[in-house]
Amino acid sequence: MFETLEPPEQTVARRWPLLMYSTYALGGLVFLIFGVRRHGFSQPFRLAVGGVMLILSLAWLVTTLRAKSPMTSRNFGVRQMILIVLLMAHQIAST
């Protein structure tokens, strides 16, 4: 009805979020398994970061699968940055 000067929302193809969330979910699962096998429960921060990465990735993966409309690039970028920060936090905790 009314035209605005804002550009329309850019959308992301559905395959990219599915690929990225499944990759991060697999990474979180590997962090949990190897963390428990190597250190037991003596390093809870590393286990927590791996668990949060796994849970968030799985939740966003299911949300993407159930969504009927495509995801905007802004939402995908924010979620991607959250997962990258978690990955960096895991790397910092392991040094």
Confidence of residue 25 (pLDDT cuts 50, 70, 90): very high
> What CA–CA distances, in Å, run from 57 to 10, 20, 52, 80, 83?
22, 9, 8, 10, 8
Dist CA 1 CA 23 (whole Å): 41
Tell me the domain boundaries of the chain.
15-94
Q: Look at residue 34 in the predicted model and tell me its pLDDT.
A: 93
pTM score, whole prediction: 0.85
Instruction: Write down the pLDDT at residue 8.
Output: 75
Q: What SS3 string covers 27-55? A: HHHHHHHHHHHHHCCCCHHHHHHHHHHHH
Q: pLDDT by residue (tens digit) across 4-22?
A: 767 778 999 999 999 999 9
Q: How many CB atoms lie within 10 A of CB 29?
A: 16
Q: What is the pLDDT of residues 31-89, one digit of tens each?
A: 999 999 998 888 899 999 999 999 999 999 999 999 998 899 999 999 999 999 999 99
